[in-house]
Amino acid sequence: MKALLRGAITLVVLAAGWQALVSVTGLPRYLLPGPLAVADAMVRQAPLLWTHGLTTLAEIVIGLVAGVALGAVSALTLARFRTARRWLMPLLLVSQAIPVFALAPLLVLWLGYGMLSKIAMAVLVIYFPVTTALFDGLRRTDPGWLDLARTMGASPAAILWTIRLPAALPAFWSGVRVAAAVAPIGAVIGEWVGSSSGLGYLMLHANARMQIDLLFAAVLVLGLFAVALYAAVDALARWALPWQPDTQPTDDAVP
Amino acid sequence: MTPLAVTIDSARLTYGGTLLFADLTLDLPAGRTTCLLGPSGVGKTTLLRILAGLAEPEPPTVVVTGDGLPLAGRIAYMAQQDLLLPWLTVLDNVLLGDRLRHRRPDAARVERARALLDRVGLSGRERDRPAALSGGQRQRVALARTLMEDKPLVLMDEPFSALDALTRLRLQDTAAETLAGRTVLMVTHDPLEALRIGDRLHVMTGRPATMGPALTPPGPVPRRVDDPALLALQAELLRRLGE
């Protein structure tokens, strides 16, 4: 409750500062609209923001689910099979050296103006952090556990499923948190390159027509999505790992 | 389960170009607890790991069993850390071996696990996670897990060295009671621990290391800490360790 109050105060102060800046400098509305103007645009254009927001949200969520699934399968394959590690690791690293955003026009060309190209974009952005996070986790199993499992006559597959994978889950969820934070970027970039719907499309459209208050409103909605998504993933991670202690002290020591 | 006699013979170990020991012999008589003492880095843990199948034996090292069959799959291993999986309950940790061998524990196995937990003094804690237990309790779960394996040879690598003195004494009592009649090899730093629960004690010292003759403390285990004979033997052991 206190944290909520603190957040609200921070928001109010920031908004007040923003409004003061606009009022004092008298910047024209098409350069920097005040928070009141943005709030007004948000209310007026709510149906528009809602339809476009829904498109983007669907792209983000589907991309996140698909990207996380693909990353998890890749990491498990890499951890389980030596041959896969030898052949796919360099490929994985090189694939990351190519800026994903440079591929956006190609994806639109191949997959069309619809949601598919944006989902693919989000998947590409998410795939690498999830794969590396889980793979790192899988490589760092306590050697004592592995010794114990070997003396119990466990097969490599049994060790992977029973010990290495559960032990790697905290690392995996860190990767998913990063993925949740970057997924909206992938979807919006995809929309900028070519689309007929979505918040990215709405931003370009509003920008071209000097409806900067609408642009700000769209950015705000996108920000709300990102925060909500992160909070949801964080809650899910805590629920999935009840055994993982949170050792971060609640308050830093006062010097 | 009939106890098994095991001998490791002509053992040789080089580490980083240095010869740690050669032509070493260690006898583990059937149904007895053998304790192996020695300073750090002498190679006692490696001997144990060879028996556990965790280290490749260097030629010409051989492991001979009383019935001539290979040792693989017939050992239970307990380490200094409890090695409990934090995401499993106490009961599931005891049943870990079954899970790893893709065997769904049936009612009889679960019942046995509960009985073992009761025997190490942890009945009622089956549903708890390891994080809810103290260090001594966690090591008790590890002991129950080792007993659950029910293997002819039990290998223990400094199992109680991370515990405080009083907890260690209590756990030695429990271990001596529950391991009676099994072939056990216990590697330890603690002369008193070896004297309390060991039937035969060997001291490994020197470089290259040699295996000292077996010391056999009198009386049934677990021996009392304040037994004067035990304290005299402790002095003797410390002298041998210091050589």
Amino acid, single-letter form, for residue B64: V
Average pLDDT over residues A85-111: 84
| Closest CA–CA distance from residue A239 to any residue of chain B (Å) | 13
Task: Give backbone dihedrals phi and psi of B60, rounded to 5 degrees, phi first.
Answer: -95, 30
pTM: 0.82
Instruction: State whether A148 and B77 contact (CB < 8 Å).
Output: yes
Cβ(A150)–Cβ(B53) below 8 Å: yes
What's the CA gap between B30 and A74, in Å, rounded? 49
Structural domains of chain B sorted by starting position, each given as residue range(s) with its CATH number in brackets = 1-74+151-243 (3.40.50.300), 83-150 (no CATH)
- Whether the CB of A113 is below 8 Å from some CB of chain B: the reply is no
Enumerate the residues of chain B whose CB falls inside 8 A of the CB of residue A152: 96-97, 100-101, 149
Candidate from A100-104, A112-116, B110-114, B173-177 with smallest mean pLDDT: A100-104
Looking at residue A60, its pLDDT comes to 93
Range of A177's domain?
Answer: 32-240
Asked if residue A99 is part of any domain, the answer here is yes
- Please tell me if residue A152 touches chain B, with a CB cutoff of 8 Å: yes
Q: Which residues of B touch A148 (CB under 8 A)?
A: 77, 79, 83, 96
A115 occurs within a structural domain: yes
Q: Measured between CB atoms, which of B79, B96, B129 is closest to A152?
A: B96
In a domain, A89, yes or no: yes
Q: What percent of chain A has pLDDT over 90?
A: 36
Q: Which of residues 205-244 of A touch B (CB under 8 A)?
A: 241, 243-244
pLDDT reported for residue A252: 57
Query: In this complex, do A158 and B102 lie within 8 Å of one another by their Cβ atoms?
Result: yes
Low-confidence stretches of chain B (pLDDT < 70) are: 1
Confidence of residue A249 (pLDDT cuts 50, 70, 90): low
Of the ranges A61-65, A80-84, A205-209, which is most confident?
A61-65
Q: Which pLDDT value is given to residue A100?
A: 77
Nearest to B53 among A144, A150, A158 (CB): A150
Question: Is residue A214, in this structure, part of any structural domain at all?
Answer: yes
What's A119's domain CATH number? 1.10.3720.10
The domain total for chain A is 1
For chain A, what percent of residues have pLDDT higher than 70?
96
Cα–Cα separations (whole angstroms), residue A234 to A14, A179, A228, A242, B236:
26, 12, 10, 12, 60
Structure tokens at B124: 């009622």
CA nearest B159: which of B180, B141, B177, B132? B141
A93 within some domain = yes
- Chain B residues with beta carbon closer than 8 angstroms to that of A167: 85
Cβ(B233)–Cβ(B203) below 8 Å: no
Half-sphere exposure in the Cβ direction for B50 (13 Å, CA): 22
pLDDT bin (cut points 50, 70, 90) of residue A253 is low
Q: What is the pLDDT of residues B89-120, one digit of tens each?
A: 999 999 998 888 888 888 888 898 898 898 88
Q: Is the pLDDT of residue A251 over 60?
A: no
pLDDT of A139 strictly over 60: yes
- Amino acid found at A98: I
Residue A190 domain-assigned (yes or no):
yes
Query: Could you tell me if residue A201 is inside a domain?
Result: yes
